Amino acid sequence: MKSSLNRLTGKASSSFTNFKNHWNIPHEGEFLSNKQFIFYCLGGMGIEFSGTATGLVSFGANWFAGNLMGIAVKDFVTIGIIGTLVGYALIFMSPLGMLIYENHGKLAKKEKLIMHSVTLSKICIGFALYFVPSVPFESIIRGFPQIVANILFLGGILDYINWFIRYKFCAKYGRIKPFIIATAVPAAVMVSIIPYLPVQTMDYTAKLVILHGAFTFSGWFFGNYNNAGSMINFMTQNTQERQRLLSFSPILRGLLNSICGIVLPILITKTSFMGHKFGGYEDMWVYKVFPPIVALISLVGVLFFLPVKENLIEQKIDRPKVHFFRGAKQVLQNKYLWIINISGLLGGIAGMTGNLVPWWLMYSMRRQWAMGLVANFIYLGGTLGTVLTPMITKRYNKRNIYVWGRVIQTIFVFAFFGLFKLNMMWIYVIFSFLTSIFSGLVGSIGGGLNADALDYYQWKNGERCDSISGVFGWFTSPLGMMIAFAIPLVYQRAGYTSDWGVLYDTAVFNQLFTWSFYITFIGTVLSVIPYFFYDLTTDKHRKCVQEIRERTVRADTAEIEKHREAGTIHLISPELLTRYGFDPKGNPIEETAGEVLTK
C-alpha cells in the first residue's frame, strides 16, 4: 500500500516538474509551451462565450428574428440566394480578397488601383440603391433593392476594414489573432444594441431591411471575434499536437457556454428583471438583458489571449508573394482538398437530427426548462469523443477513424427514427448522447484532416493556400444553395412556414421529424464516400512538415547572409536573427544546425 502511494506521489511530482519545465519551452518537436496552451484555452473560453449572446441575437429562422420579429423562413433563404448571386456578380473581386489574405494586405500597384476602384464602386452603387422603390420587386422579396444595397454598401466598408487590419497587423501578429483583438469591443457593443432597435412595430419591409443591414454589418465582427478555433491551424504544424488542441481545447473553451446552456433556460423562465418576469425565449426582454451581460464577460477573455502566438512555419524574410491564378490552379489539383470540400457539401444537412431534441422538448413535451440540461447532457458525449480522439489517433489512421465514425452515426439514424415513432423521448436523448460521442470524434478528426491537407499543399507548392482554397466555394456554393433552399420546401411540405405555432400541431410536428430523418440519413451516407480516397497518413504528413521546416531555415538564413553582405542587417528584427543563430549585428552564434531547426 505504501509503495503504491509512493509511486503515485512520484508520478504526480514528475508530471508537475515536466509541466513546469515546459511552461515557457515546448516539448521537442512541438510548437507550443504549456503557457501558450493554457492562455489559449482561457482566452478562447471568454471569446467563445460571446457565442451565447450571438446565438440568442442572430438573423435566421430562430426565436429572435423568426418568432419575435416575424421574419418568414423563406425570406431568410431568399436573402441567402441574393447574397450568393451578388457574390457571383462580384466574383472577379475574390482573387483580390484572397491575395490580401495570403500576402498580409500587401498588393501590387495595379492590384491596389483595381481594389480601390471596385470597392468604392460597391459603396456608391449600394448607397444609390437605398433610394430605389421596392414595390416593383416585391414578387422576389420585400425591400429587394435595399437588401442588395446592404450587401454592397456595408460590404464595401467592411472590405476596407479587413484590408486595413491585414496590412497593419497580420504580417507581425498572424492571420487570425489581430482580427480577434480588433473586433472584440465592436462585436460586444453591436450584439447589445440590436435588440433595442425599434423595429418590432415597423412594417414588414422596413423591419426586414433594417435587421438585415444590422446583421450584415455586425455579423462580420461576430464572425471574426468568435474565431479562436480557426487559429489552431496556425499555432502548430505537428499533427498530433494539433489533434490535442482540436480535442482538448474545445472542452475548456466551451466551458462557460456549457454552464450558461444549463443556467440560461432556467433564468429566462424562472427569474425577473426590474419587476418584469422573463417569459422564456419568446420574451423580448430576454434579448435585451442577457446578451449585454454575456458580451461584457466575454471581453475578459481577450486579456488572456494577448500572449498567444501563431507559429506557422514560413519564410519571415522576403516572403514569396502568392499569385492568385497559379495558386488557384494548384489548389484545384489537390485531391485532398477536393475530398474535404465534396464531403462537406454532401454532409451539410447530415446533422439535422441534432436540432430536433429542443423542438421535441418545447413543442411536443412543453418542457422548455429542461432544454439546457438535455443539451448539455448530449454535449458531454461530444466532449467524451473529443477527449478520446488523441489517444485513438495515436494507434489508428485518422481517415479510418473518420470513416467508421460516420458509418456508426448512420446506424444511429435508424435508432432515432424508431424511438421517435415509439415516442420514447428520454431513450432518444440517451442515444443522442451516444451518437454525440462519435460526432465529437468525427468533428475533431475532420478539422485535423483539413489542416493536414493545407500543410501538404504548402509542402508541395512552397506557399500557403488558406484563403485561395476558398475557390472551391465557387463550385460548391450553388449546390449548397440548392440544398439550403430544399430544406424549407421540405418544412413547407410538412406544414411549417413562418408560423412557429403550427409546431404545436402533432401531425405537422411528426411530418417535420420524419422528413428530417430521411434527409439526415442520405447526407450522412454521401458525406463519408469521398474519404475512401483520402490517403494522407500521419507519417507522410510528418515528413512533409519536417521538409517545410528545413526549406524555411535554408531560405531565411540565405536572406540573412545577403543582408549581411549588403550591410542592411538592421532591416531584420533581432528576434528573427536570434531565431536563426545570429546576434543582433548579424554575426553567427555558435549553434548547431539541428538546434536552429528545432526553434
Cβ atoms of 252 and 42 closer than 8 Å: yes
Range among 74-78, 222-226, 356-360, 437-441 with highest mean pLDDT value: 222-226
Q: How far apart are CA 43 and CA 37, in angstroms?
A: 10
pLDDT surpassing 50 at residue 483: yes
For 392, other C-beta atoms within 10 Å of its C-beta total 18
Cβ atoms of 399 and 342 closer than 8 Å: no
Q: What is the mean pLDDT of the chain?
A: 82
What is the pLDDT averaged over residues 460-467? 83
Residue 466, C-alpha cell as written in the block: 488558406
Alpha helices in 150-238 (DSSP H): 155-165, 171-173, 177-193, 204-225, 232-235
pLDDT for 505 equals 66
pLDDT surpassing 60 at residue 354: no
Cβ atoms of 523 and 343 closer than 8 Å: no
What is the biggest distance separating any 2 CA atoms in the chain, rounded to whole angstroms? 86
Long-range Cβ pairs for the range 226-230 (8 Å, 24+): 226/47, 226/48, 226/50, 226/51, 226/54, 226/187, 227/47, 227/176, 227/179, 227/180, 228/40, 228/43, 228/44, 228/47, 228/48, 228/180, 228/253, 228/305, 229/44, 229/48, 229/253, 229/447, 230/176
pLDDT surpassing 50 at residue 593: no
- Three-class SS of 579-590: HCCECCCCCECC
Decide: helix, strand or coil at residue 375.
helix
Range among 190-199, 278-287, 384-393 with highest mean pLDDT value: 190-199
DSSP H or E segment with residue 514: helix 506-528
* All residues at 6 or more sequence positions from 333 whose CB lies less than 8 Å from its CB, including other chains: none
Q: How far apart are CA 142 and CA 144, in angstroms?
A: 5
- Tell me, rounded to whole angstroms, the distance of Cα 412 from its chain centroid: 26
* All residues at 6 or more sequence positions from 420 whose CB lies less than 8 Å from its CB, including other chains: 428, 513, 514, 517
pLDDT surpassing 50 at residue 594: no
Q: Which domains does the chain carry?
A: 43-306 (no CATH), 329-536 (1.20.1250), 541-597 (no CATH)
Residue 38, C-alpha cell as written in the block: 493554457
Cβ atoms of 381 and 440 closer than 8 Å: yes
- Tell me the Cα Rg of the chain: 26
Q: How far apart are CA 127 and CA 146, in angstroms?
A: 9
pLDDT surpassing 80 at residue 281: yes
Q: How far apart are CA 214 and CA 218, in angstroms?
A: 6
Inter-helix orientation angle 204-225/177-193, to 10°: 150
What is the pLDDT averaged over residues 422-441? 81
* All residues at 6 or more sequence positions from 278 whose CB lies less than 8 Å from its CB, including other chains: 267, 268, 269, 270, 271, 272, 285, 286, 289
Count the residues in the chain.
599
Alpha helices in 284-397 (DSSP H): 284-305, 324-332, 335-346, 356-359, 371-395
Cβ atoms of 515 and 380 closer than 8 Å: no
pLDDT for 597 equals 46
Residue whose C-alpha is closest to residue 473's, from 360, 345, 343, 582: 345
pLDDT for 178 equals 94
Decide: helix, strand or coil at residue 347.
coil
- Dihedral sign (CA 43, 44, 47, 53): negative
pLDDT in tens, 221-271: 999 999 998 898 888 888 888 888 888 888 888 888 888 888 888 888 888
pLDDT for 127 equals 96
Cβ atoms of 233 and 451 closer than 8 Å: yes
DSSP conformational letter for 176: S
pLDDT surpassing 50 at residue 598: no
pLDDT in tens, 537-580: 888 888 988 888 888 888 878 777 777 777 777 667 676 677 76
Q: How far apart are CA 407 and CA 413, in angstroms?
A: 10
pLDDT for 368 equals 58
Long-range Cβ pairs for the range 576-581 (8 Å, 24+): 576/316, 576/317, 580/553, 580/556, 581/557
pLDDT for 249 equals 86
pLDDT for 198 equals 92
Lowest mean pLDDT among 346-360, 462-476, 583-597: 583-597
Side chain identity at residue 153, one-letter code: F
Residues in a beta bridge with 162: none
Lowest mean pLDDT among 208-217, 236-245, 294-303, 312-321: 312-321
Decide: helix, strand or coil at residue 393.
helix
Backbone angles phi, psi at 319, to 5 degrees: -65, 130
Percent of the chain residues topping a pLDDT of 90 = 22
Q: Pairing mode, if any, of strands 276-277 and 272-273?
A: antiparallel
Q: 451 — alpha (psi -120 to 50), left (phi > 0) or beta? A: alpha
pLDDT for 595 equals 47
Backbone angles phi, psi at 272, to 5 degrees: -140, 165
Cβ atoms of 115 and 178 closer than 8 Å: no
pLDDT surpassing 70 at residue 440: yes
Q: Which residue is associated with the grid cell 519551452?
A: 25
Lowest mean pLDDT among 166-180, 279-293, 458-472: 458-472
Q: How far apart are CA 89 and CA 155, in angstroms?
A: 14
Lowest mean pLDDT among 93-107, 360-374, 446-460: 360-374
Per-residue pLDDT band at 28 (split at 50, 70, 90): confident
Per-residue pLDDT band at 590 (split at 50, 70, 90): low
pLDDT in tens, 102-155: 888 888 888 899 999 999 999 999 999 999 999 999 889 999 999 999 999 999
Lowest mean pLDDT among 32-36, 238-242, 292-296, 592-596: 592-596
Helix then strand count (H, E) for the chain reads: 25, 2
Q: How far apart are CA 100 and CA 102, in angstroms?
A: 6
pLDDT for 477 equals 73
Q: How far apart are CA 310 and CA 177, in angstroms?
A: 8
- Tell me, rounded to whole angstroms, the distance of Cα 179 from its chain centroid: 13
Residue 202, C-alpha cell as written in the block: 415597423
Percent of the chain residues topping a pLDDT of 70 = 86
pLDDT in tens, 169-223: 998 888 999 999 999 999 999 999 999 999 988 999 999 999 999 999 999 999 9
